[in-house]
Amino acid sequence: MILLVVYYLQDGIVGFFRNFYQALGGNTNNHLVQTEQTAVDGSEVIHKARETDSNAPILNIESILMQFGGLKALNNVDITIKRGTIHGLIGPNGSGKSTMMNVLTGIYVPTAGDVKFENQSVVGKTSSDISLSGIARTFQNVQLFGEMTALENILVGLHHTFTANFLDVTLHLPRFNREEAAARERAQGLLNFVGLGSLASEEARNLPYGKQRMLEIARALALDPNLLLLDEPAAGLTAPDIKELLTVIRKIRDQGITIILIEHHIDVVMGVCDNISVLDFGQKIAEGVPAEIQKNEKVIEAYLGGQSA
């Protein structure tokens, strides 16, 4: 029996039934066809952000307290994020920026306060529920699947678009084939959007660091977010990479997606953000447009350790 299985079922049991289905006339090959790298406009790649067009704020952070024992990482922080803007969140090391990012994405449950996204509280929800509700993020340290290609990394972010069941996937039935073909086309479009269209078949670990950053942003966009959180996307990038990053960030904003940008490169924040909030020792010490923040004495003191001249 073992010899028969080895000889006749070289593709395994699943492969045997798949081949049997194909022999009956089913089509199992179209899911392998790669999408041509055609130009994709924003409406094809990013569409959900348009569904909730309103003048109301997209995010309200209300008196957030995040306490670890006796340490208050965030101390009654209030921030309002306007829809369709790029909102910078800056501050010295240890000011609470990353803690705020983790609160917004459900990694931390705040000790007190509330976070309302689209007028719905997200406090207590899981990270997956929050991401599917329209909030996506990138990480301070790149979090990619290194042995998977750039296209496959994007497909991971598109898992929520599939409705096919286990049988559809196993036998590559028409519903799964259609959904996978659509997902591959969408993934290629997202790669084109961030300038990685020609690198679709390259393993993520082989990409230059700047390209890996772009790939992570593209994967976040696969969730169709209304709000995108970028955690120090310019960290470790060269000047040309930063210039390319700023171009992509503006393109994302132009498609109606609101962005919260945490960044240590002050010139990046001042050059791209519409509004900026400044944290220091877990408290908000300033908020306003870039020109106001640059002149704020509390901000200068927090960064330089002294009063402005």
**Per the structure block, which two tokens stand in for 42?**
């924003």
CB 122 within 8 Å of CB 115:
yes
Residue 64 lies in a domain: no
CATH of the domain at 164: 3.40.50.300
Average pLDDT over the chain reads 83
Residue/partner pairs of 34-38 with CB below 8 Å, 24 or more apart: 34/184, 34/188, 34/200, 34/201, 35/181, 35/184, 35/185, 35/187, 35/188, 35/189, 36/188, 37/188, 37/192, 37/197, 37/198, 37/200, 38/192
271, part of any domain: yes
Q: What is the pLDDT at residue 43?
A: 47
For residue 27, being part of any structural domain is answered with: no
Supply the pLDDT for residue 300.
87
Q: How many structural domains comprise the chain?
A: 1
pLDDT band at 39 (very low <50, low <70, confident <90, very high): very low
DSSP state of 149: B
Is 196 inside any structural domain?
yes
Give the lowest-confidence range in 35-49, 141-155, 203-217, 250-264: 35-49
Mean pLDDT of 184-206: 91
Domain containing residue 235: 49-56+84-110+124-304
Nearest in space to 248 (alpha carbons), one of 267, 234, 266: 234
Higher pLDDT pick, 42 / 193:
193
Is residue 4 in some structural domain? no
Q: Which of 250, 182, 239 is nearest to 217 (CA)?
A: 250
Judge whether 164 lies within some domain.
Answer: yes
pLDDT at 29 over 70: no
Q: Which two tokens stand for residue 97?
A: 């920026």
